[in-house]
A and B are shown apart, each in its own frame.
Chain A
Amino acid sequence: MGSQGGGEAETVLRLSNITKRFGPLTANDSVSFELKRGEVIALLGENGAGKTTLMNILFGHYVADEGTVEAFGRALPPGEPNAALAAGIGMVHQHFTLADQMTVLENIALGTQTLFAPRFDRGRALARIEELSRDFGLEVRASALVSDLSVGERQRVEILKALYRDARVLILDEPTAVLTPLETEALFATLKKLVATGLSIIFISHKLNEVMAVSDRVLVLRSGRISGERRTADTDRGELAALMVGETIREPEVVEHSPGDTVIELAGVSTVGRAGGAPLEAIDLALREGEITGLAGVSGNGQAALAALIAGTLKPESGTIRIRGEAVRDWSARTALAHRIGRIPEDRHATGMIGDMSVTENVISEAYRSPRFSRMGFLDWKAAETFAEAIIRDYDVKCPSPNARVRLLSGGNMQKLILGRAFDGEPQVILANQPTRGLDVGAVAYVHTKLLEARNRGAAILLISEDLDEVLALADRIVVISKGRLSPPSKRGELSVREIGERMAGHGFVEEAPDAA
């Protein structure tokens, strides 16, 4: 595609010397590139490399400090999403921009009709949405409320939003992060159809295999700079990985070993609904010494409830929690800690750390009542600081001092602090909920190494991750969660990615006959 064949294809988009700073951080450093008609560019880079910032500038959400954006030969005024939309640029954000309590049709047609028209023309909108969804295989019910849709369907709504406005350039920001393998295949099929009609696509990702599968050309972004540009046909994963990371980082090796006794067991546990995901329905799960149990699933299927349960912040509605064979009655965060359950929470900013408190205050937040850090009701700051310094040293946390606000730390360093706190006192159970989300490759490898070390010394680990590759790489056995139910565990390597994907979509669960696949 692209510039193949005889004549040069039309340039639809040109970014010149884009620079954007956030305080001391330079998110984009003099980035330039061009996009041709009917071309798929992959923008590859680690988390924090500046991909999303660049696209937000292109779309007018941020204003660049330097540089210009040209669409179809004309300069785009900075900071005006409206101008980008009018120029035919559509963006599917990583975090969807949909109003949940409104219908699909309302979300798509929002802002497309004259604002002060006396009547909203529903019929016209409906006809056009139906036509688009038929043409491009974007099936979705126009009258459904967005809150009733699956994540995959929501993404289709986002793509329809762009197409409805006659987008000629489509930006997809990490579109596969939330999809099951099957949904990803369907998305790629849709993208092919779109490109065939002359649409140009910018595909943002940090997953090499996807980039190789969909793009014509790859731009690699590292620390805000373009570190390389390759035609997809002329490169391979190895070269791209090197360009992306800048150095070779080795993932730890998993050495087989057999698990020990069951440490914590959930028997027939159900929870009541809570915001942000499905409740659990009579699940059975046993975590054993020296074993990583990987939980795969599309987010919102009960992972939050299961994590809260293990962490002790949610009580079971029915069923029993046993620790080393003994039922625990009064399940709470405090009992969980007392039973030496180490917790790596899903969102380190919201629940993991208190941003405006110091490193020291944060690392003792789970143990401040213990005699180690308090005497007769008074905190022993000296002991606390010594502990903080030990974590900083042992886990190689880059921070100015134990008194530094945690907010100022990078994601990777914050996660190292959390590891230090969670692994203190050799926990017998470790809950690792999205432990590497948003981290760069080096930090990911570090977290994986620490988790494997803990497993090798005998900790029972529950690894919850939306990144299926991570689960496949680390877990000794895999359990799939779908609509609050758990599949029976399967050993490492027993199921193919496709089979796991089907289970994530809710097929092949207990008592059901296995789907013919």
Chain B
Amino acid sequence: MEAFDILLTTSFWVAAIRIASPLIFATMGELICERAGVLNLGIEGIMTAGAFAGWITVYAGGDLWLGVAVAALTGVAFGLLHGFLTVPLGLSQHVTGIGITLLATSLTYYTYRVSLPEVTSPPKIEPFQPFAIPGLSEIPLIGPALFNQTPLTYLAYVTVALVAWVLYRTPVGLAVRAVGENPSAVEAQGISVTAMRMGAVAAGSALMAVGGAFLTMSAFNSFFFEMINGRGWICIALVVFGSWRPGKALIGAILFAAFDAYQVRLQQVTGGVIPYQIFLMLPYVLSILALIVVARRATYPKALMVPYQKGER
């Protein structure tokens, strides 16, 4: 029964939401890119760059929110690069994305080494602090989990609502979805396919970078190598899991984070009988199973990964 009791503890749910927050940002970012028809495998590197850019801004004396802004701008820069290579030049989105990840990651590590040559243990900053929302945070169990978090987590909630609103309720969202379905339909209606796709990739990449920054500025208080640790790839899977819909992707992110939080606690309960690697594996195995069940019926954006060349014959 101990294994089940974990689910009833407040600390478990607090941890789950904290783990979910960076995934929510990055998943929304990837979702925007893919909805516009561009796969962005640069996500892992862009998160790394965002994590570092935000943190170093604060370390150099900047305000926390300035750090978030710098992270977002770093994301925009890499997004524009990815967009330029894949949209007007029409290069392979897979190859370009992996290139962006390698470039962004290496550039980040290099910059870290150059700016902090003498450092052996990672220096710390003063990160975002939890802020209890009066009233809401007093609801039992879910109150503290959802409403006693850092402001960045609240921003993640807002991001989901905003992305859903923009995609489904505004003219620009309609154009973004259409450009991922059939770019010639967009072109025939007098909208620039290039501008829509570039814009979506830039905006999406900004969110990925903020997701990375959450780790260094909210979940932890320093930057270290390998800290993104495959979270970007998980977000790619979460977009598929969510069938390219913001609400479903949010549920996917929370579910995955819950598994992750759960396995850490389960390790302690079983007390070393089962090797801990099994538990580490658990969230990934479950997400593969979930993908098999959910994603087989998903309707993906029809023009995803199809470059559009104007006036081609």
A residues near B, CB below 8 A? 22, 56, 61-63, 79, 81-82, 84-86, 91, 93, 97-102, 106-107, 109-120, 161
Contact = CB atoms under 8 A, between A and B. Distances in A.
B101 to A, nearest CB: 29
A100 B175 contact: no
B137 interface: no
A19 B311 CA distance: 16
A97 B170 contact: no
A98 B182 contact: yes
A119 B174 CA distance: 11
Contact of B174 (A62, A100, A120, A161): A120
16 contacts: A56-B311, A81-B189, A98-B185, A99-B178, A99-B181, A101-B299, A102-B174, A102-B178, A106-B177, A106-B178, A107-B178, A110-B175, A110-B178, A118-B170, A120-B169, A120-B173
B172 A99 contact: no
A86 B190 contact: yes
Contacts, number: 86
B287 interface: no
Interface in B166-222: 169-175, 177-178, 181-182, 184-191
Nearest to B311: A62
Contacts of B311: 56, 61-63, 79
Contacts of B248: none
Interface string B211-241: 0000000000000000000000000000000
Interface of A is mostly: loop
Which 8 pairs show the lowest CB-CB distances between chains A and B?
A: A82-B190, A111-B189, A99-B181, A97-B188, A113-B171, A97-B185, A99-B182, A97-B184
B297 interface: no
A81 B171 contact: no
B69 to A, nearest CB: 21
B302 interface: yes
Contact of A61 (B169, B174, B187, B301): B187
Contacts of B299: 101
Nearest to B184: A97
Given A93-B188, A97-B185, A100-B302, 8 more contacts: A79-B311, A98-B185, A100-B181, A110-B174, A115-B171, A115-B191, A116-B171, A119-B170
Given A61-B311, A85-B189, A91-B188, A106 B171 contact: no
B310 interface: yes
Central interface residue in A84, A115, A117, by most chain B CB within 10 Å = A115
A210 to B, nearest CB: 24
Contacts of B177: 99, 102, 106
Interface string B8-34: 000000000000000000000000000
Contacts of A98: 182, 185
B92 to A, nearest CB: 18
A107 B174 CA distance: 9
Nearest to B244: A101
B181 A120 contact: no
Nearest to B195: A115
A86 to B, nearest CB: 7
Given A63-B311, A91-B188, A120 B171 contact: yes
A120 B177 CA distance: 13
Contacts of B185: 97-99, 107, 110
Most buried by A among B172, B182, B190, B313: B190
Contact of A81 (B182, B190, B302, B313): B190
A22 B313 CA distance: 9
A84 B187 CA distance: 12
Contacts of B170: 116-120
A116 B195 CA distance: 13
Nearest to A161: B189
Contacts of A120: 169-171, 173-174
A241 B177 CA distance: 45
Interface in B237-276: none
Nearest to A109: B174
Contacts of B181: 99-102
A51 to B, nearest CB: 14
Nearest to B178: A99
A114 B185 CA distance: 17
Contacts of B188: 81, 91, 93, 97, 161
A186 to B, nearest CB: 23
A21 to B, nearest CB: 12
A107 B299 CA distance: 18
Nearest to A111: B189
Given A62-B311, A81-B188, A97-B188, A117 B178 contact: no
Nearest to B313: A22
A56 B187 CA distance: 12
Contacts of A99: 177-178, 181-182, 185, 302
